Structure 1
């Protein structure tokens, strides 16, 4: 890499003159400034970010630590939202992945602090509890899609309760009174929130919730997490008062339910409505009929986190912000029929 000394020699000026040009100081003629600038371009010289920071000229660095968001298509919008906000404010975004390792997290925190990060954002693939051992008294930490039991840092979460409430309310407004809910794992943070939204939408409409229609739709099977769905569907669809609609824990589950429910002789949405959750577009927009679902507001969550990271006045107001996803009405749901 070219050094400031190389630039000085090529421009035939002193190192001090190059330094003054880099610092934007007065007292350098326009002719000399152009000579130095041309030399830097020809040598592909870029000033040290650390050196600029010491002179108070840093661009500003926001750092993002993730588990594996960059390789997770349905969560990547968190990064997109952060990047959008950083570009708008002229901030450099640096990203590091932990792969779920606490040791890697600590190393990245140290590395990013050496880069004089304005703030560090930690984002997870799914809504879950995390434990942060490090202190962040100088460089603030913003949590995205995750939370601590004790609120110590600004925290951005999806409003899973409201998403499930709106989705269930839509089905009820379409005349559905017997609605099955096939959940994700019960120990996931999102599941009890969505189940509560599902139940409250029923109560809000004066309907009784049939707990027998709330079933876990996934299983611990490394080869097929939906391996038990055929049995679950056979059970709930053989009831005397069978459901006229099925809410699925996510769009991937809904895709499997589409296939299984058709094998059982039902038509979507003519004889049964099926809805998902996540708005995984590759699935939701390509199923036939297209899938009614709720989006996870990942882009908005990323934007909000970056805005807090950039604006110091927002960092002192430590609280949890819940952002609601959008109810996307497509063709997989209809009016209740027998």
Structure 2
């Protein structure tokens, strides 16, 4: 690697002059500055980030620790949102993948602190509780899509309650009174929030909730989490007062429901409406009919996290920020078949 001495020799100036150019000090002529910059470019010289930090210059680095986000397409928008804001603000984004390992998380925190990061963002692939064992008094920490039991850090989460409320209210507005809900795993924090939103929409419409219409749509099978779905759907649709609409825990589940419903001889949405959750576009926009769903606001959550990381003054006070998704109306929901 080229050194500052190499640059000085190439430009035929003193090391002190190169140092002044790097530091942005006044008193260096335009001609000399251009010579130094030309020498730096030719020698592919880049000033030491550590040295710049010691001189008090802000490096403008935002660091992101992800937990399996880099390999999960439907959650990758969190990273895209952070990157978008960093580019807009002229900041460098560094990304490290923990893979869910506490040891990797600790190593990344240490590495990023050595880089004198402005802030560290920790984002998970789905909404879940975490335990942060490090101290972040100097370098702020922002949690995205995850939370601690006690609110110790600024935390950004999707508004799962509101999303489920909106999509259920939409079905009720279409005159559906028997709406089934196929949930994700019961121990997932988002599941109960979405059930609460589903219940509140019914309450606001003065509709009685049939508890038997709320079923778990997933199982712990390693190879196929929807293994029990055929039996669940068969039981629901064989009822004398069968549901006329089904809310699915996510768009992947909705895709499987589409296939199973057709196998049972029903049409969407003529016989039964189906809606999802996530707005995973690869699925939602390619199903026939296209899937009505609720978006998870991952891109907006990432943007918000980056904005707060860059404006460090707003990170000092622990706060929970909920970001609302969007109700995306397509073709898979309609009026019940008379």
Task: After superposition, give the CA deviation of every residue in 1:123-166 in whole Å (9 maximum; x if it has no partner).
Answer: 00000000000010111100000000000000000000000000
Per the alignment, residue 125 of structure 2 pairs with 125
SS in 2 for 1:74: helix
Q: Which residue of 1 aligns with 2:35?
A: 35
Instruction: Report the TM-score, using the length of structure 1 for normalisation.
Output: 0.98
Task: Provide TM-score, normalisation by structure 2.
Answer: 0.98
The corresponding residue for 1:87 is 87
- Do the aligned residues in 2 keep the contact of 1:62 with 1:118 (CA within 8 Å)? yes
The ranges of structure 1 where at least 4 consecutive aligned residues each deviate by more than 3 angstroms after the TM superposition are none
In the TM superposition, what whole-angstrom CA distance separates every residue of 1:227-261 from its partner, at most 9, and x where no partner exists?
A: 11000000011111000000000000000000000
Q: Which residue of 2 aligns with 1:205?
A: 205
Give runs of aligned pairs for residues 195-234 of structure 1, distance below 5 A.
195-234=195-234
Partner of 2:172: 172
Q: CA RMSD in A?
A: 0.9
Partner of 2:325: 325
CA distance in 2, matches of 1:145, 1:28: 49
Q: Is the 8 A contact 2:119 2:312 kept in 1?
A: no
1:20-69 Cα shifts (integer Å, max 9, x gaps): 11111223222222211111010111111111111122331111000121
Matched pairs, number: 338
Report SS of the residue matched to 1:94. strand
- 2:128 and 2:189 in contact (8 A); partners too: yes
Query: Structure 2 matches for 1:258-297, cutoff 5 A?
Result: 258-297=258-297
Task: Give 1:19 shift.
Answer: 0.8
Unaligned runs of 5+ in 2: none
* Cα distance, 1:222 vs structure 2: 1.1
| Equivalent position of 2:116 in the other structure | 116
* Distance in 2, Cα, partners of 1:132 & 1:312: 20
Q: Distance in 1 between matches of 2:34 and 2:330?
A: 59
Which piece of structure 1 moves more, 18-27 or 133-142?
18-27
What are the ranges of 5 or more consecutive residues in structure 1 without an aligned counterpart? none
* More deviation, 63-72/309-318: 309-318
1:307 deviation in Å?
1.2
Aligned partners of 2:28 and 2:239: how far apart in 1? 86
1:53 and 1:261 map into 2 onto residues whose CA distance is 61
Paired residue for 2:19? Answer: 19
State the 1:218 CA deviation.
Answer: 0.5
